Amino acid sequence: MRIIPAIDIIDGKCVRLSKGDYDTKKIYNENPLEVAKSFEDAGIQYLHLVDLDGAKAKHIVNHKVLEQISNNTGLKVDFGGGLKSNEDLRIAFDCGAQQITGGSIAAQNRELFLEWLQTYGADKIILGADCMNRKIATNGWLESSELDVLKFIQAYEKEGITNVICTDISKDGMLAGASNELYTEILGETNINLIASGGVSSMKDLEDLIEIGCEGAIVGKAIYEGNISLKELERLC
């Protein structure tokens, strides 16, 4: 299983939220590149970079942070947040993203998201399936929909999506364990590469996700709060 640390960006700084609530913002480092380099030094190869300003603004905002990390580390970055147009996508790839994650766009503009999938291929386009009580949430999780997360994933799997990041918003930033039951259900009903996100609090949580069969796991607050050390992740990697 791939270990994928997360860096969430607001005002160019490395932050974490709880349950996606912008009012719970906690700044962990004012230099995201410094954080990214610490991950790379621990032998980690991947990074999940989220433009929270972009998610709220509905267009890419913190692409300079992406560019800085891409130009100064060897991390393979998947980038999400605020990607709503072809121009947003072009900027993300030009600034060094190896992959992009589309969540809101997939829920709100299916035609454009499928165009991206056809143009760039399934290796470059990740489906973001962020949900609260199984319902897909959009625009920085500030808006909800009536789309069931499993049906949402299955519909895009039929269109060729192979990589999915699924975040249970109720777990995100809470350090209370991942949504194992939901992930088990998704893996039992699809053949996608599932990247678990939200709630990882310990090495035991990561071991459980390996056992379930997740292809990757995104780890955020557990690293920043010291629940999981980079040394431990280095050994697991």
Question: What is the number of domains present in the chain?
Answer: 1
Q: What are 182-231's pLDDT values in tens digits?
A: 999 999 999 999 999 999 999 999 999 999 999 999 999 999 999 999 99
Detail the DSSP E strand segments found in 19-173.
21-29, 46-51, 76-80, 99-102, 125-132, 135-138, 143-148, 163-168
C-alpha–C-alpha distance, residues 60 and 54, integer Å: 5
* CATH of residue 85: 3.20.20.70
User: Which amino acid is located at 62 in the chain?
Assistant: N
pTM confidence score:
0.93
Q: Mean per-residue pLDDT for 31-40?
A: 98
Structural domain range at position 83? 2-236
So which residues are the catalytic ones? 8, 130
